[in-house]
Amino acid sequence: MKRMLLGCGIFLSLTTLHAQLLTWTPPFPKENDAAQTLVITLDATKGNRGLLNYTPLTDVYVHMGVITSQSTTSSDWKHVPFTWATTPAAANALSLGGNKWSFTINGSLRSFFNVTDPSETILKIALLFRNGNGNNVQRNTDGSDMYIPVYNANLSVRITDPPSEPKYYPVAEPRTWTVGSVVTMTSNASKPSQIKHYFNNLVTGVSASGVTSFTNSFTITSEGNQQLVAEAFDGTTTTYDTLRFFVSPAGSPVAPLPAGVRDGINYEAGDVSATLVLRAPGKNLVTVTGEFNAWTQQVMNKTPDGKFFWLKISSLQPGTEYAYQYIVDGNIRIADPYAEKILDPGNDPFITAATYPGLKPYPAGQTGIVSILQTAEPAYNWSAGSFSRPDKKGLVIYELLVRDFVAAHNWKTISDSLNYLKNLGINAIELMPLNEFEGNVSWGYNPDFYFAPDKYYGPKNTLKAFIDSCHKKGIAVIMDIALNHSFGQSPMVQLYFDAVNNRPAADNPWFNPAPKHAFNVGYDMNHESLDTRYFTSRVVESWLQQYRVDGFRFDLSKGFTQTPTCDANGNNCNVSQWGFYDASRVAIWKRYYDTLQLKSPQSYAILEHFADVTEERELADYGMLLWGNLNYNYGQALMGNPTDWDFSWGIHSVRGFNQPHLVTYMESHDEERLVYKNINFGNSSGGYNIRDTATALKRMELGAAFFFTLPGPKMIWQFGELGYDYSINYCTNGTISNNCRLDPKPVRWDYLNDPRRKSVYTTYSKLISLRSHPWYKNAFLSGTVDKNLANAFKWIRLNSGDTSQLMVVGNFGTTPITGSITFPVAGTWFEGLSNATFSATGTAQNISLEPGEFHVYLNRNVYNVSTTPVSNIPWTENTLQASLYPNPVQGTFNLKVQLPQNNKVSLEAFNVLGQYITTLYTGFLTRGEHNIQINKNTGGKGIYFLRLHAGAASKTLPITFQ
């Protein structure tokens, strides 16, 4: 490899074996030599040994490409001739026996790789060996790709011993060298030259002139960073090859942890230094290597208790991003577990500049994920001020996966869509995991770095701007997080890993060697470990305080247990026993809930628990919210099946909870879409067919009427309000398969143009707005429920304990039905979803309903229907009140306004996306009641939202223009 300056070398650790993972002839391949025969030989006993002892011997193929002058990164393969996991004869490697295979390229490399642009130069051949289906892959020891340099210069020199693995910048397998070790160095030149060897800038040997190979030896005299240089001079040109390696000391020097620092990056005053702290109990030596030390190694100090390693990094440039890694005991290379930004060579190249502008390129020559530190990082200026979190008992949560909500999958685009959600009426957004996870296109439940926002969704300050925008609109932000487990890219998994058994080692401070329960994925965390408890505390602190999230939904919370329900190897699990009451798990969660309240008072803790009801009751009474899955019950009822129609388990008092801390949902990311069920499995009778799309959608409104009117917090899974009808198992090719559950799903904002789906949205919006109406809010926070939910004819009676009552009635069957209900008060009741009224007798009376028909009756005139109310409930005269009638409207409509004081009044129209359309009225009104006739002039039919402003007060009212 040609190097023109001594300082532009290669850092590596060296191998004790004088055999290479890859060898090739000729030793200096050229890109445009038509007479060249390049033979590449693989030794599968080296590297990651992905093909060690592999059979059949004929089932080995190469996967190749080139790194060229047009590659954007050091791993940006170009001109790949063979498709992965295929078996073309042209890619077949030849078995040489003894775990060796070879592959031959005849003639010009430009021709073989079809590089036709004369301005494009081949720099490297990128190479992997694999079996036919691609499941067994031979790579470098650390899993990185292999490369063969291409030499286009007239004179080149390469150090061939000590041997090194063929990385983009070669790095060898680990070797133990100490002071006093004798090193043999061999280098080859591409043409007769005089070759000179240097060790740490001192000449160790000079060859005669006119040789192509030279070998000499020298002795290591000191610990630390070392440098080898080979120089070739042919009488005209001088060229170099440089290798660097590190001679480890016996161990890290011992020094106490400086006052005031803690795990991770500790920035210091002046923005020119930072102290790095790594928790690694039981390890002997840790060094740090990065851009701040030219990727050499600096030895870190070890605390007297042997638990921490630390080092102060100085002379940093404020505002500059520095990539770095830790090297532990000479052979474990990891990023900082506490880093708030990481660079991933395998996934970052697929993140576009539109999603993450100015993303720092992965540093050439490095391997594995690297962490980033940056002093004087650009701050985000929060503008929402103090945010008052909604009462947890009244949350209406919108569960959202960034990837499938907007096609751009970034925070900026979602921020632009917030008016749509605000108009729907939700007061909280639950974001599926957003911290760094393995891969890009993921649900996020495979985390590896917990403090870093995943770059696939955009920069951290754009995330903060999104949260800020939510708060300005009165919307809380809840972060879904997976702290039950991590996966193999986690530095805390890698730091203590049992490679023989492919699981965390027994001395891992954070992870169990084998899972304690049957449903574990990845590697199971030990939440009784003090190290894990500290780590979890730091994670929630970071998101609550730095990003101002309002709480967490904890994935697989029932897994936070050390009570084993599996054998010692994580097999033969008793799933039922896992769900039994577990006092130790309760203690873990109470401790974590207390931590949340300490870090951010009134923050939410939502548990995906599904454990014994006595355990859930205790946690709910302590203040936590429990997920309540009613997907099956609502699904059966909406499909018109004769059993399992009861929604009573969605009522907290039925479960024995003393508080309505039960987050019920009809749909979630883990459950099948209800409209998909209706269309594919719905029943029919006569002319009524649930599989008809219009009917399937209308039944979502029926379900919503019996969902939102039950007390306690609710959750909607994204686009359920538009009747999203793609299966959870929908594949990108249009088929349905369980293997496609995590695949991207179509983003269908065009559903807003379908009146049938807009009707679902409108019904959701009206029901949600009713939950926050001053007259009915208490009913949904702490009201009592009478019900009959056992048959096709269902009813709910909700009493707030004051003068507000609600009655819901519906027919979930497929034929007309007549049922008996008793309104608690005789008189005129008001239809909550239309302008209709109903005369109640106060005694048992029959109501006949068509299939799918439902009504939400209110005893108070929320929508100001022109009729005599049940009881005369006067305006309080100290709040702004407004109503519209008729609604829907074809021409003109009336705006009824009740003003607490004289004020200028305006009425603006917005579409369902929150875009301003026009101003319908402006005027000055005196204190009191006013009826204003307004002409519809929005320019089109559909659902709109009218926003009434009176001074600092405002009201938003939905209206349908026909």
pLDDT per residue as tens digits for the range 546-572: 999 999 999 999 999 999 999 999 999
pLDDT of residue 944: 78
Write the CA distances from 590 to 659, 821, 898, integer angstroms.
16, 43, 47
Distances (CA, A) of 294 to 8, 11, 341, 363, 364: 10, 9, 20, 11, 12
pLDDT digit string (tens) for 274-285?
999 999 999 999
Q: Per residue in 337-352, pLDDT tens?
A: 999 999 998 899 899 9
Q: pLDDT tens digit string along 790-801?
A: 899 999 999 887
* Structure tokens belonging to residue 50: 């992905």
Amino acid at residue number 681: F
Cα–Cα nearest to 185, from 245, 265, 272: 245
Highest mean pLDDT among 7-11, 189-193, 362-366: 189-193
Listed in order, strand segments (DSSP E) in 559-707 are 604-607, 625-629, 662-665, 684-685, 688-689
Task: State the Cα–Cα distance between residues 864 and 881, nearest whole angstrom.
Answer: 10
Place of tokens 């009613």: 630
- Comparing 265 with 142, the larger pLDDT belongs to 265
Residues shown for the chain: 962
- How many Å apart are CA 698 and CA 701, to the nearest integer? 5
pLDDT attached to residue 663: 98
Distance CA 271, CA 312 (A): 13
Contacts of 145 (CB under 8 A, 6+ apart): 75, 126, 127, 128, 139, 167, 168
Nearest to 549 by CA among 560, 537, 541: 541
Asked if residue 12 has pLDDT above 50, the reply is no
Contact criterion met (CB below 8 Å) for 559 and 519: yes
Give the single-character DSSP code of 345: T
Residue 12 corresponds to which tokens in the numbers above? 């590596």
Distance, CA of 444 to chain centre: 4
Check residue 890 and give its pLDDT: 75
d(CA 681, CA 690): 8
Please give the pLDDT value at position 782. 85
Contacts of residue 81, Cβ cutoff 8 Å, sequence gap at least 6: 64, 65, 90, 91, 112, 113, 114
User: Who's near 106: CB < 8 A, 6+ residues apart?
Assistant: 36, 37, 38, 112
Task: Count the helices and strands in the chain (H runs, E runs).
Answer: 15, 54
Kindly report the pTM of this predicted structure. 0.82
Tokens representing 545? 């305080």
User: Tokens at residue 410, please?
Assistant: 């970034």
- 34 pLDDT more than 70: yes
Peptide bond into 900 cis (omega under 30): no
Distance linking the first and last C-alpha atoms of the chain? 75
CB contact set of 549 (below 8 Å; sequence gap of 6+): 467, 477, 478, 479, 543
Q: How far apart are CA 701 and CA 707, in angstroms?
A: 10
The pair of structure tokens assigned to 41 is: 């030989």
The CA radius of gyration of the chain, in Å to the nearest whole number, is 34
The answer to whether the beta carbons of residues 749 and 409 sit under 8 Å apart is: no
**For the chain, what is the mean pLDDT?**
91
Indicate if the pLDDT at residue 18 is higher than 70: no
The answer, yes or no, to whether residue 867 has pLDDT greater than 60, is no
pLDDT at 141: 80
Torsion of CA 633, 639, 643, 648, to 10 degrees: 30
* CA-based nearest residue to 369, from 290, 264, 424, 445: 290
Q: What is the pLDDT of residue 869?
A: 36
Please list, in sequence order, all residues whose beta carbon lies within 8 angstroms of the beta carbon of residue 61, skipping any fewer than 6 positions away. 82, 87, 88, 91, 92, 93, 129, 130, 131, 132
Amino acid sitting at position 767? L
Q: Which residues contact 916 (CB under 8 A, 6 or more apart)?
A: 908, 909, 910
The one-letter amino acid code at 584 reads S
- Each residue's pLDDT tens digit, 752-808: 999 999 999 999 999 999 999 989 999 999 889 999 998 999 999 998 877 889 999
Mean pLDDT over residues 439-465, rounded?
97
SS3 825: coil
Task: Name 649's Cβ contacts closer than 8 Å, sequence gap at least 6.
Answer: 628, 630, 633, 655
Q: Among positive and negative, which fits the CA dihedral 167, 168, 170, 174?
A: negative
Give the span between the Cα atoms of 769 and 373, in whole angstroms.
Answer: 46
Q: What is the Cα–Cα distance from 489 to 482, expressed in whole angstroms?
A: 15
The band of 142, judged by pLDDT with boundaries at 50, 70 and 90, is confident
The amino acid at residue 144 is S
Residue 468 has pLDDT above 90, yes or no: yes
Q: Using CA atoms, how far apart are residues 31 and 35, in angstroms rounded to an integer?
A: 11
> Do strands 202-206 and 881-885 pair parallel, antiparallel, or not at all (unpaired)?
unpaired
Summarised one tens digit per residue, pLDDT across range 691-712 is 999 999 999 999 999 999 999 9
Question: Which of 314-328, 774-788, 851-865: highest mean pLDDT?
Answer: 314-328
Q: Cα separation of 57 and 129, whole Å?
A: 12
Quote the CA–CA distance of 169 and 915 in Å, as a whole number: 53
Residue 303, CB-side half-sphere exposure with 13 Å CA sphere: 20
> CA–CA separation, 684 vs 676, rounded Å?
15
pLDDT the model gives residue 140: 87
Residue 797 sits at the vertex; the CA angle it makes with 792 and 799, to the nearest 5 degrees, is 165
Give how far the C-alpha of residue 729 lies from the chain's centroid of Cα atoms, to the nearest Å.
19
CB 639 within 8 A of CB 691: no
Give the span between the Cα atoms of 490 and 336, in whole angstroms. 10
Nearest-angstrom CA–CA distance, 36 and 112? 12
Q: What is the pLDDT of residues 45-60, one digit of tens each?
A: 998 899 999 999 999 9
Which structure tokens are listed for 720? Answer: 């359920």
